[in-house]
A and B are shown apart, each in its own frame.
Chain A
Amino acid sequence: MRAKLLTVLVAGCFGVGLALSAEQQSVEVVHWWTSGGEAAALKVLKDDMQKKGYGWKDSPIAGGGGDQARTVLRARVASGNPPDAMQMLGFIITDYAEEGLLGNLDSVAAKEGWDKVVPAPLQKFDKYKGHWVAAPVNIHRTNWIWANKKIFDELKITPPKTFDELLAAADKIKKAGYIPFAHGGQPWQDATIFDSAVLSAGGPEFYRKALIDLDKTALTSKTMEKAFEQMQKLHGLLDPNYPNRDWNLASAMVINGKAAMQIMGDWAKGEFFKAGKKPNVDFLCFQYPGTEGSFTFNSDAFALFKVSKEREAAQFTLASAIMDKNFQEQFNLVKGSIPARMDVPGDKFDDCGKKSMADLQVALKNNAMLGSFAHGHAVPEGLKGPMIDVVTNYFNKGGSPAEATKQLAAAVENAK
């Protein structure tokens, strides 16, 4: 860090007339988009920065959907050497802002009018105490089901509207020799299903009361038991090899026609595209039954760390580049999500993306745009962890739903 500062000063002294081989100021970005498609999409940002005269120092750390990266970040923060920007979701941004580690993006935000184009539920996370601290990249939706159209057509199934219809359809699918649900047995995937189960069992208001406000009566209510019952029934419709399976391998099962459905956020769409599949031609996308009209979201954002004045210009440029309409469109076309800005035209997006964008407006109006519990947008990490423990344990082990709700409430109490 000091070496870089020194270099910048020296370069500044010698003036702009230096040859291109001089060290240009760069931003260091930590993220975990290390695979082909998303890395390519992120590269758009890097090229943009380069056009504006800034270098990009890439420090990716894969693993655990960001868990490894966050461990490394903790160490770097402790050593007083945070990166310029880091990929963060939901309450993690809040946590770091609380520690006073994030910078202030108000100047950029005001100049570009972010307040008007970023939905309020996202602003809850991207702002801290009224000040912008992170630039959102996308909006993912978690209450989707992705289905193999061929199987649905063959068995004359249409997207079910209620949970019972879903069970009936699954039954038909099982009898025909296909696997009803492809699932990857990892805690976050189990929790992603839980998002939808709670939403389906009790509606958006119940979801908010239970999983966001952590109201004890809601957590131990019969409605919550219904949600756990849904989980139990779904568990019976999986193939036996689901534990620890990666989510994209589960998507592959649907793509290849071995399984009929996957309950997963819309990053799964990216897998279908990569395999050359088209929505409504090869695969169907519809909301988990009972959650139509509600939008459980999670949003990747780049949080900008507090840095010295000299580096601020580079950071502001990065923030601005992230919110650039063109970048948002390009990136989200690849990622499967929709732009964080609501004023990006949706015509290039596929049918599922268009539905997402339309549903977003409806949900906002009806106060039904809710942070995803599974992905850290409902409760902070300290609470989310033990709660997901209860969910994943129940999903795999089974037991009585009443007992599970009690455990859920106890986990919340213990972690407060």
Chain B
Amino acid sequence: MATDWETPQMAQGSGFAWSRLVIYGLLGFLALVYLLPLVVMLLTSFKPLPEIYAGNILSLPKEWTIAPWIDAWERACVGLSCNGIKGYFWNSTKMTVLAVTLSTLIGLLNGYVLTKWKFKGADLLFGLMLFSCFIPFQIVLIPMATVLGKMGIASSTTGLVFVHVVYGLCFTTLYARNYYMAFPDELIKAAMIDGAHFFKIFWRILLPSSGPIIVVAVIWQFTNIWNDFLFGASFSTGESAPMTVALNNVVNTSTGERPYNVHMAAAMFAALPTLLVYIFGGRYFVRGLMAGSVKG
């Protein structure tokens, strides 16, 4: 595990108390700024509608109500059916978990091959895969739809999972490759001498120490796949749509009344899984990004 880095201040030994004040002050101020949108959303989700139209977006609710949250979950109208977003939440979960697991697994294997079993042209292939990370999705929507249609999986969870795996591969491969590059080759060599083969080395030696990079890949993929709208809307129908589609229908309705409190509550539900993943996985995220730069 990485040793804690000693700050220059500690290295220098003496304490600059006032500089700590500046640091904390700056951080505190910036933290408030970053939190502002979230605060606005939360406050709005607990206010009754007349208060929202009347007042200040940052004012505390004069009358706290959790009705918007219940409405969002149970009763919000997503088109003709007014059963809230709870069903779609489950759709998203199913789809995201599958897609994240598959793309991470394949990415890890790819990274393993690219670093420990290098062959001629491996670098070029990696470069090709890496460039594909940067393609905007609108460009591939129609050709992808055509191909999925021909494969017969266009409007199904399978199709959606497939699409997300395809476009998530490059990132998971990138993360895994950078991580495994720092993994000592000697251990691999030793295992091979002991008679271990390709998969055995992966399962027994590499995978157990892949914790941090698995977390990075999972966090990144989860965020992108959970929040995706374009593919989700295009490759699903009706009740099997992911939650972003439902949320969009609740929030972006072109006509009619806008119960902003319900919108915000629905948005919070949509954001909750990713928020939790970031809050609890945050430290591993940094650690995962770090690996590869720490000297043995």
State in angstroms the CA–CA spacing of A332 and B4 once bound together: 69
A39 at the interface (CB under 8 A from B): yes
Report B-chain residues with C-beta under 8 Å of the C-beta of A16.
none
Cβ contacts B70-105/A at 8 Å (1 or 0 each): 000000011111100000000000000000000000
The distance from the CB of B147 to the nearest CB of chain A, in whole angstroms, is 8
Given contacts A35-B258, A38-B255, A248-B258, 19 further A-B contacts (CB under 8 A): A33-B255, A34-B250, A35-B254, A35-B256, A36-B257, A39-B256, A56-B80, A58-B81, A59-B238, A60-B80, A61-B245, A61-B248, A62-B251, A72-B234, A75-B144, A78-B142, A80-B154, A83-B237, A248-B255
Question: Which of B146, B255, B256 is within 8 Å of A78, CB to CB?
Answer: B146
Determine whether the beta carbon of A79 is less than 8 Å from that of B254.
no
A75-B142, A75-B145 known; A35 and B80 CB under 8 Å? no
Q: Chain A residue with minimal CB distance to B154?
A: A79
B249 contacts the other chain (CB 8 A): yes
A34 touches B78 (CB 8 A): yes
The answer to whether B248 and A28 touch across the interface, beta carbons within 8 angstroms, is no
Query: Which one of B141, B253, B257, B258 contacts A75 once the chains associate, using CB atoms below 8 Å?
Result: B141
Tell me if B234 and A71 are in contact (CB < 8 A): yes
B233 touches A72 (CB 8 A): yes
A65 to B245, CA, bound (A): 15
What separation, in Å, do the CA atoms of A267 and B254 have in the docked complex?
A: 11
Pair count A-B, CB < 8 A? 127
Q: A: which residues have CB within 8 A of B? A: 1-2, 28, 31-39, 42-43, 46, 56-66, 68, 71-72, 74-76, 78-81, 83, 246, 248, 267, 270, 274
Residues in B with CB closer than 8 Å to A58 are 79-81, 238-239
Contact B256 A79 (CB under 8 A): no
Cα A56 to Cα B249 with chains together (Å):
18
Known: A62-B249, A74-B142. A80 touches B149 (CB 8 A): yes
B218 on the interface (CB 8 Å rule)?
Answer: no
Interface centre among A39, A57, A79, A83 (most CB of B within 10 A): A79
Q: Which residues of A contact B152 (CB under 8 A)?
A: 2
In B142-179, the 8 Å CB interface with A consists of 142-146, 148-150, 152, 154-155
Q: Judge whether B77 and A59 touch: CB under 8 Å.
A: no
Return the chain B residue nearest A29 by Cβ: B80
Most buried by B among A2, A28, A35: A35
Q: In the complex, what residues of A have CB within 8 A of residue B258's CB?
A: 35, 246, 248
Complex CA gap A32/B149 in Å reads: 24
Task: Please measure, in the bound complex, the distance between the C-alpha atom of A42 and the C-alpha atom of B230, giving whole angstroms.
Answer: 25
Q: How far is the CA of A130 from the CA of B142 in the complex (A)?
A: 31
Q: Does B241 contact A (CB under 8 A)?
A: yes
Say yes or no: B141 contacts A62, CB within 8 Å: no
Given contacts A71-B234, A83-B237, contact A60 B146 (CB under 8 A): no
Q: Which 4 A-B pairs have the closest CB atoms?
A: A35-B256, A79-B149, A60-B79, A75-B234
Q: Could you say which residues of chain A place their CB within 8 Å of the CB of B81?
A: 58
Q: How far is the CA of A47 from the CA of B241 in the complex (A)?
A: 22
Choose among B230, B238, B251, B256 the residue that contacts A28 (Cβ–Cβ < 8 A).
Answer: B238
> Shortest CB–CB separation between residue A378 and chain B, in angstroms?
21
CB < 8 Å: which of A39, A78, A79, A81 contacts B77? Answer: A39
Question: In the bound complex, how far is the Cα of B230 from the Cα of A62, in angstroms?
Answer: 12
Chain A residue with minimal CB distance to B233? Answer: A72
Shortest Cβ distance from residue B238 to the other chain A in the assembled complex, whole angstroms: 5
Chain A residues closer than 8 Å to B82, beta-carbon distance: 39
- Least CB separation from A37: chain B residue: B256
Q: A39-B80, A58-B80, A78-B149 are in contact. Are A32 and B155 (CB under 8 A)?
A: no
Given A72-B233, A75-B145, A59 contacting B254 (CB threshold 8 A): no
